[in-house]
Amino acid sequence: MDEHEFRRILDLFPVVRSGNYCFQDESGRASSSHSAQDEVTEWMEGWTEMDKMDELKENKSQDAFWSKLRAAAERKRVSLITLFGTNLKVE
Per-residue pLDDT of the chain (91 residues; tens, 9 = 90+): 888 898 888 888 877 777 777 776 555 554 455 677 888 788 778 778 878 877 777 777 777 888 888 899 888 888 877 777 766 555 5
Evaluate whether residue 76 is within a structural domain: yes
Closest CA to 79 of 71, 91, 65: 71
CB 18 within 8 A of CB 44: no
Please give the model's pTM, rounded to 2 decimal places: 0.32
| 69 within a domain of the structure (yes/no) | yes
> How many structural domains compose the chain?
1
Task: Say if 70 falls within a structural domain.
Answer: yes
Is 80 within the bounds of a domain? yes
- Establish how many alpha carbons lie within 13 A of residue 1's alpha carbon, considering only the half-sphere containing its beta carbon: 6
Range of the domain at 72: 64-91
Asked, for residue 85, whether it belongs to a domain, the answer is yes
Q: Which residues contact 13 (CB under 8 A, 6 or more apart)?
A: none
**Position 73 in a domain:** yes
